[in-house]
Every structure is written in structure tokens, then in C-alpha cells.
């Protein structure tokens, strides 16, 4: 008999009552009762959407979640079952992961989040070890379970949950294979060929390793989309050897079908290219064809990252520039020398540091070996300055949300201001790390992940769940907002108040309090002073100092998962909202304005001296401290970039940036005129893609503040 809520039924009726086995049994019941659908046109099959169609569901990233809309739909469709439907829903209501995690915040901390001062979490995306899974199959994983069960004799219940989850995966695979055979009996010849190929593949996978690229794609996709889609990680590392030895026409067709599925499901970060710890290059045919596919399809997903290093072939640099010239905002390019050095500095051996990849938008994971957040929190750096200027008062809510660090009107030196600012930064950092650690512990208790535990190294070996410190690496990641705006503000205060003494701190604080009304001359002076991104030593030195302090301070904080907190800057779509929740700033920003830096680069439109000056400024910050994605956004003139000369100039610029210690570049190749026309005539620009700040999106789908942010970015002329 099928159940209306299979996961809920399996969870509630599990023989073993620990939460890992309850979840595993819920997953098994889902696999047993899921309605199999196969579209031969897709070639590759998996339970798309996971349990999202149920009122009670389980997702790898979010744990147990509830869907009130689906509950109400079920009651409407089955009114005679209303009581049992509500029993299921009410039973799980106290266990919903988001509800449980929310309890780790105090009322004050909730206000910090609501007012965009900072926030903290403990969940995140992941990068399971698909290379290992493809290589050894579930048979190999079962052998590992048996081996380590004998070591950890006190963990029998957890290993039972691991096996029950493998049972579910294999059962669902068998059901797909049987369904394909059944459909093939009455299918048209073309569909019949595909269905029989699917059926033949499932005769082997996932228990054993695939034999060709088609089988590798099917096994990868089935396991990748088993409960929900996430990040493929080092895609060419996991599947490249199957691609290398396959028929060129068939492998390209397989990649194309897989790409369509990635796009359909808005798959997260797919990473290609890498070096090893000896500097060897691991580019393969699949690396190049992924770039080619992204260019040809011109989709906004999957989010594509390319790793480059000093021994990357020139052909790969050219392929990257060609793909970027299509205007899709991808690939984001990462510098192995910078990233791997940063990871090694926090204790990750070089061999594993060189297996880094991106999860989500652009946070850094160790492929198949880590649970490194995404995100553990985010901090508004200019909000800390606001607190320092107003003795802990948030100028958006007019509430005291920060500690008292003294009346800024009485500060007699720039050092006093900086000391107050650092205390406020540390206060917000302490809130983030303490709250995130509470959340991490609650995730481990209430949202274990037996499936991820099977395919992330360390979990089976330790006898610990993926959420419960099982992975080899458990570092954290916190994002920053508004670093450049803060540097601009502090530089202007130093110059006009403490160096030139043209204004007093009392005048400045009063001007900010009144949103510069009645202080027009002061506003003109402060808003027109040196801005970060123009190779101005005074601003750049402050930027470097606050970055260094912030990044190093977080690394003194330990994660509950067993690592340290790292920092980066990848603001996604949130920069305008953070800007809106600030009062007036000494850089000239007025209260209510949404424009805020969307990366480690200059505030949009403030870099006036060309790309070399921008890179010179950005490189003053020590990016070897950044263990999360540390993004620099650049916008290039489309007409220039798309020429061979333009691409060559970009490659030279990017290489110089990487040689100087830069970590990440995200590129928009557009024209200002095209963007402005898209605002006025969106119907003409349905396929106009832009890089937002960690992902690409069709421009006309963005809200106006984000459109304004992207238009305001300085357009680089090569």
C-alpha cells in the first residue's frame, strides 16, 4: 500500500528509534513508493525534485522541512483523510529543522539579523565524492562500512542507518531499470533504443562502476539528484576518464543531455580544471568541452567555475576568454596558487588543498572530504563603523544593538575611532561564530545526513554523521559586505577630521545623524574624497588593515565541526539590501540609498583610473587569508573584449592579477547601452545574462536595485 506521505510514514514507523535510522527508513520508504517517471528525451533519470512534492520532506541540505501548501492540497484532495494528514504534519512540526535552528538566537541576535548587521547559520551545500562513488560503486561503500563497523563496535546503529540508505538508493535504481524495460516494450524505435540503454545501465549501476561515459553520466546524475540537487564539484576530475576514452559524438551528446538537466534543476557549482600539489596540470578533453557547452547553450546555470594556475595551457586561457565573450558571466576563474596557499595555512595538506572546488555560488570546499559551511554567516563591515560612530546604535532601527565604545564626538584621534571600529567588528564576529556553532550542533542533532555520510570521506571511517563532525575537514565560512565602502569612509574621516582638521567629529556625527541635510559642503568633501580602487595609498592602506584584522580575527575562532572560521567576499544579490539598512556613511552614501560594494572591488562606479589601478588597490588586501570565495567583479566593454586583441589583453590582465596574489575574478562582458535599453525595453533582452555576485542571471529578471548596481559598475576599456 502506498502512503500519502512516504517519508513521514517510514520515519514514524522505523524499527530503530534513533533519528539517523528514522531518517534512513523514511528515505527507504520514499524510494519504495516514489512514482517513477522516465522521459526518454532526457536520457538520464533520477527522482527530480526529491521529496519536494510532499507535505513532509527531507532534503540533504535542509533536513526535515514542511510544506503547508501541499498539506492543504492533500486535505482538499482527500477530505476523508484530513485527520491523518494533520497528524503527520503536527508530529513533525516541532522537528522541522529551520524551526529548531531558529532557537539558537536570542531576541537581540534576531534584531541583528533583521537589521542586516550580521547573520549566522550552520547548514550549507556540499561536494560529495562522486569520483570515489563512480570508481567503487555501492559495493565498495558496503565493504568500507563492514570494515569500519568492526572498528567502531559502539556505532552499530549508525552503520545500520548507512546501510539502510544504501538499500534505498539501490532499490530505487532497480525500480528505474525495471520501468525502462517495461516502457521499452511498447516504445517507438528511437525511444526504445534509449530505454534499453537505460535499463542495461541500471543492471550495473550504482552497485558497480560504469563502463563508458553514458553509464557514468547516468550513475552520476542518479546519485547527484537522489534527494535534491547540489554542487557537482570537480566534474572533469570525477567523469573525465570516462569521457577521454569514449566516442566523441556520443560523449558530446551525453554532455549536452546532462547540461540540459543541470539547467532544468538550477544545479549549483560545477568546477573544472585544476593543478596537483606538484604543479601538474589536469586539464582534459571534458574541461574544454564543458566551456564550449556553456558558451553554446548560453544558460544562466549551472554555475560554472574554472581553476587556473601557472601551468595551465594557453589553450585553456583562450577557451575561458571565448566563453566569457559570450556574455554569460561564466566561468568564474580561480587562482590555484592563492586558494591552495590559503587552505594549507589553516592545516589542509597540499594534496587535499589541490582538490578544492566550489559549493553553492562560490564558497570553497575540499571535494568529497569536507563540510565547510555555506554559509556560516555574513557580516556588514560598514554597520560596525556605524556602531562605532553612534556608540552601538543602529541608524536603521534607531535601537542600541551593539556595545558601547564611547561617544565618537569626543574622539581625539583616528586611532580611537579605529579601536572602536575593531571592537564593533569583533562583537559582530563573536555573535556570528557563537551562534553558528550552536546551529552546527543543532544540525548534527536534528538533521543528520546518512546519504551524504556515505559519499563524503571521513564519515564511515570515523563512525560519525556528515553533520556530526564526520568529514575530514570542518572549517567554516563567513562572508563580508561593504569592505570598500568602509575603507572609503574611514579614509575620508582620517583626512578631513584628523589630518586636515577641516571638520570636527561632532560636526561629522551630526551631519550623518541628519543625513547630510544642512551639511552640503561637508557632504561634497567627503563624497568626493579618494575612493578605493584608484591606487590611492591612504585608502588602500586602510582597506588592507581592516581586511587583515577581520580575516585574522575570524581564524582565531573554532568551528563546532572541528576547524576554524574563514572569511571571503561573495555578496550574491544581497548588497543593495545591506546598503538600504545602513544610515548615512562618511563616504557620502545617504540613508535609504542601496548602492553598496558587491565584491572586494571598488563601490560601483568609484574606480575611475582604469583596471590596473583597480587591481593595484585590491592586491593590497592579503588574499592569502581568504579561505572562502574572495570575489572581484569586473565589467568589460563588449565591443572591445570580443576581439582577439581584447581577449588577449584580458588574459594578460588576469594573469597579472593572479601573479600578484588575486584569488577570484568574475566577469561581465556587456555594454552600458545594452543594459540601459534592457531596463526600458525588457521585452527585447530576454537572453541578456549578467554576473550578479556569485551566480549569473537574466538581467530582466533582477530587481531594480540589482540592475542599478550592475549598471553602475565601471566598464573597463582594454
Read off the pLDDT of residues 368-400 as tens digits, 9 standing for 90 and up: 999 987 679 999 999 999 999 999 999 999 999
For residues 515-522, average pLDDT: 98
**Which pLDDT score, from 0 to 100, does residue 575 have?**
87
Backbone angles phi, psi at 443, to 5 degrees: -60, -45
Nearest CA-CA partner of 470 in 565, 560, 603: 560
Weakest mean pLDDT among 15-19, 226-230, 444-448: 226-230
pLDDT digits (tens, 9 = 90+) for 55-109: 999 876 678 999 999 999 999 999 999 998 999 899 999 888 888 888 888 899 9
Tell me, what's the pLDDT at 716? 66
Distances (CA, A) of 100 to 55, 104, 505: 18, 8, 45
Q: Is the pLDDT of residue 408 over 90?
A: yes
Element (H, E) at 60: none
| Beta carbons of 79 and 4 less than 8 angstroms apart | no
Residues 6+ positions from 349 with CB-CB distance below 8 Å: none
Digit-coded pLDDT (tens) for 552-609? 999 999 999 999 999 999 766 788 899 999 999 999 999 999 989 988 999 988 999 9
Cis-peptide into 136, omega within 30 deg: no
| 128 has a pLDDT exceeding 90 | yes
Indicate the pairing of strand 332-335 with strand 664-670.
Answer: antiparallel
Collect all residues with Cβ–Cβ distance below 8 Å to 6 and sequence separation of at least 6: 26, 29, 30, 32, 33, 34, 54
Q: Which band of pLDDT confidence, cut at 50, 70 and 90, is reported for residue 27? A: very high
Q: Is the pLDDT of residue 698 over 80?
A: no
Burial profile 115-144: b = 16 or more Cβ within 10 angstroms, e = fewer: bbbbbbbbbbbbbbbbbbbbebbbeebbeb
Burial class (CB in 10 A: 0-12, 13-18, 19+), 186: exposed
- State the average pLDDT over residues 2-19: 93
pLDDT for 707: 81
Grid cell 544579490 is found at 573
As a whole-number percent, the residues of the chain with pLDDT over 90 amount to 80
Number of CB atoms found within 10 A of residue 94's CB: 9
Element (H, E) at 451: helix 450-454
CA dist., res. 323 & res. 308, Å (int): 15
DSSP assignment string, 499-562:
IS-SS-HHHHHHHHHTTTTT-HHHHHHHHHS--TTS--HHHHHHHHHHHHHHHHHHHTSBPTTS
d(CA 592, CA 583): 7
Instruction: Work out the widest C-alpha separation in the chain, in whole angstroms.
Output: 87
- Chain Cα centroid distance, residue 485: 23
- Can you tell me the distance from the alpha carbon of 569 to that of 362, in angstroms, rounded to the nearest whole number? 9
Residue with cell 593543478: 275
| Beta strand pairing call for 476-481 and 377-380 | parallel
- Label residue 117 by pLDDT band (50, 70, 90): very high
Q: Lowest mean pLDDT of 25-39, 99-113, 652-666, name the range.
A: 99-113
Q: With 90 as the cut, is the pLDDT of residue 539 above it?
A: yes
Length of the chain: 718
The predicted pLDDT at position 697 comes to 74
Torsion from C-alpha of 116, 117, 118, 119, nearest 10 degrees? -40
Looking at residue 63, its pLDDT comes to 86
Q: How confident is the model at residue 714 (pLDDT cuts 50, 70, 90)?
A: low
The residue to which cell 571592537 is assigned? 423
H-helix or E-strand spanning residue 633: strand 626-637
CA distance 343 to 354: 9
Residue 217: per-residue pLDDT: 98
514 in Cβ contact with 603 (< 8 Å): no
Residue owning grid cell 565602502: 485
Residues 6+ apart with CB under 8 A from 382: 481, 482, 485, 486, 489, 582, 585, 596
Torsion, Cα of 510, 511, 517, 520 (10° steps):
140
- Secondary structure of residue 485 in the 3-state scheme: helix
Determine the Cα–Cα distance for residues 262 and 253; give it in Å rounded to an integer: 14
What is the mean pLDDT of the segment spanning 166-176?
98
**Residue 359 — pLDDT band, cuts 50, 70, 90?**
confident
Q: Which grid cell is 478?
A: 563567513
pLDDT at 26: 96
The span from the CA of 246 to the CA of 538, in Å, is 57
The predicted model gives 275-295 an average pLDDT of 97
pLDDT at 207 over 90: yes
Q: State the pLDDT at residue 717.
A: 66
Closest CA to 301 of 334, 258, 333, 339: 258
pLDDT at 123 over 80: no
- Of 492, 490, 495, 519, nearest to 507 by C-alpha is 519
For the chain, what percent of residues have pLDDT higher than 70?
98
User: Parallel, antiparallel, or unpaired: how do β-strands 399-400 and 626-637 relate?
Assistant: unpaired
CB atoms within 10 A of CB 1: 4
Mean pLDDT for 98-126 is 88
Q: What is the pLDDT of residue 53?
A: 82
DSSP β-bridge partners for residue 358: 364
Q: Which of 328, 332, 262 is nearest to 295 (CA)?
A: 328
Q: Poorest-confidence range of 120-124, 259-263, 358-362? A: 120-124
Q: Is 417 left (phi over 0), alpha (psi -120 to 50) or beta?
A: alpha
For 470-498, the pLDDT digits (tens) are 999 999 999 999 999 999 999 999 999 99
Amino acid at each position: 500500500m502506498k502512503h500519502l506521505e512516504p517519508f513521514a510514514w517510514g520515519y514514524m514507523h522505523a524499527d530503530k528509534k534513533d533519528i539517523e535510522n528514522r531518517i534512513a527508513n523514511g528515505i527507504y520508504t520514499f524510494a519504495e513508493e516514489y512514482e517513477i517517471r522516465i522521459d526518454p528525451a532526457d536520457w538520464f533519470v533520477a527522482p527530480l525534485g526529491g521529496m519536494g512534492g510532499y507535505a513532509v520532506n527531507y532534503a540533504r541540505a535542509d533536513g526535515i522541512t514542511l510544506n503547508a501548501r501541499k498539506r492543504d492540497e492533500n486535505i482538499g484532495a482527500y477530505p476523508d483523510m484530513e485527520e491523518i494528514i494533520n497528524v503527520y504534519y503536527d508530529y513533525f512540526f516541532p522537528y522541522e529543522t529551520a524551526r529548531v535552528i531558529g532557537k539558537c538566537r536570542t531576541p537581540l541576535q534576531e534584531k541583528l539579523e533583521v537589521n542586516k548587521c550580521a547573520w549566522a547559520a550552520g547548514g550549507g551545500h556540499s561536494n560529495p565524492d562522486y569520483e570515489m562513488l563512480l570508481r567503487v560503486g555501492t559495493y565498495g561503500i558496503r565493504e568500507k562500512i563492514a570494515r569500519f563497523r568492526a572498528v567502531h563496535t559502539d556505532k552499530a546503529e549508525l552503520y545500520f542507518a548507512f546501510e539502510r540508505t544504501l538499500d534505498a538508493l539501490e532499490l530505487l535504481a532497480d525500480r528505474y531499470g525495471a520501468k525502462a524495460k517495461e516502457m521499452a516494450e511498447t516504445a517507438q524505435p528511437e525511444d526504445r533504443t534509449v530505454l534499453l540503454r537505460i535499463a542495461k545501465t541500471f543492471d550495473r549501476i550504482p552497485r558497480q562502476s560504469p563502463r563508458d561515459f553514458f553509464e557514468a553520466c547516468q550513475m552520476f546524475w542518479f546519485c547527484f539528484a537522489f534527494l535534491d540537487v547540489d554542487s557537482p564539484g570537480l566534474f572533469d576530475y570525477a567523469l573525465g576518464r570516462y569521457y577521454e576514452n569514449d566516442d566523441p559524438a556520443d560523449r558530446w551528446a551525453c554532455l549536452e543531455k546532462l547540461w540540459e538537466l543541470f539547467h532544468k534543476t538550477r544545479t549549483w557549482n560545477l568546477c573544472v580544471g585544476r593543478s596537483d600539489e606538484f604543479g601538474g596540470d589536469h586539464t582534459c578533453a571534458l574541461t574544454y568541452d564543458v566551456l564550449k557547452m556553456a558558451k553554446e547553450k548560453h544558460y544562466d546555470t549551472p554555475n560554472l567555475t574554472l581553476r587556473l594556475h601557472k601551468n595551465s595551457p594557453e589553450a585553456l586561457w583562450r577557451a575561458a576568454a571565448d566563453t566569457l565573450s559570450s556574455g554569460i558571466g561564466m566561468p568564474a576563474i580561480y587562482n590555484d596558487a592563492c586558494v591552495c596557499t590559503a587552505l594549507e595555512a589553516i592545516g589542509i595538506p597540499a594534496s587535499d588543498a589541490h582538490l578544492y572546488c566550489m559549493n553553492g555560488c562560490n564558497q570553497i570546499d575540499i571535494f568529497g572530504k569536507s563540510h565547510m559551511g555555506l554559509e556560516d554567516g555574513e557580516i556588514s563591515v560598514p554597520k560596525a563603523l556605524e556602531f562605532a560612530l553612534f556608540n552601538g546604535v543602529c541608524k536603521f532601527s534607531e535601537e542600541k544593538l551593539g556595545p558601547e565604545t564611547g561617544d565618537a564626538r569626543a574622539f581625539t584621534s583616528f586611532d580611537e575611532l579605529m579601536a572602536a571600529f575593531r571592537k564593533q567588528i569583533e562583537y559582530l564576529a563573536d555573535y556570528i561564530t557563537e551562534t553558528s556553532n550552536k546551529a552546527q550542533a543543532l544540525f548534527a542533532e536534528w538533521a543528520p545526513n546518512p546519504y551524504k555520510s556515505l559519499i563524503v570521506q571521513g564519515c564511515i571511517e570515523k563512525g560519525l554523521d556528515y553533520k556530526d563532525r564526520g568529514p575530514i575537514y570542518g572549517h567554516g565560512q563567513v562572508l563580508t559586505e561593504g569592505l570598500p565602502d568602509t575603507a572609503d569612509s574611514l579614509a575620508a574621516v582620517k583626512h578631513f577630521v584628523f589630518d586636515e582638521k577641516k571638520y570636527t567629529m561632532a560636526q561629522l556625527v551630526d551631519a550623518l545623524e541628519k543625513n547630510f541635510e544642512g551639511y552640503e559642503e561637508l557632504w561634497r568633501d567627503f563624497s568626493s574624497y579618494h575612493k578605493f580602487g584608484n591606487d590611492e595609498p591612504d585608502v588602500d592602506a586602510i582597506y588592507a588593515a581592516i581586511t587583515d584584522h577581520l580575516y585574522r580575527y575570524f581564524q582565531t575562532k573554532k568551528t563546532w565541526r572541528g576547524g576554524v572560521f574563514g572569511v571571503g567576499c561573495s555578496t550574491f544579490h544581497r548588497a543593495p539590501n545591506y546598503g538600504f539598512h545602513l544610515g548615512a556613511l562618511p563616504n557620502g552614501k545617504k540613508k535609504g540609498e542601496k548602492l553598496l560594494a558587491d565584491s572586494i572591488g571598488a563601490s560601483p562606479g568609484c574606480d575611475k583610473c582604469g583596471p590596473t589601478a583597480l587591481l593595484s588597490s585590491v592586491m593590497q588586501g592579503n588574499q592569502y587569508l581568504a579561505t572562502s570565495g574572495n570575489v572581484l567583479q569586473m565589467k568589460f566593454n563588449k565591443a572591445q573584449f570580443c576581439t582577439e586583441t581584447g581577449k588577449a589583453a584580458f588574459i594578460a590582465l588576469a594573469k597579472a592579477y593572479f601573479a600578484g596574489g588575486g584569488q577570484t575574478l568574475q566577469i561581465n562582458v556587456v555594454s552600458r547601452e545594452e543594459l540601459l535599453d534592457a531596463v526600458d525595453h525588457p521585452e527585447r533582452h530576454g537572453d541578456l545574462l549578467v554576473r550578479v555576485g556569485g551566480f549569473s542571471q537574466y538581467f530582466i529578471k533582477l530587481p531594480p536595485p540589482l540592475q542599478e548596481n550592475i549598471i553602475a559598475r565601471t566598464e573597463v576599456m582594454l
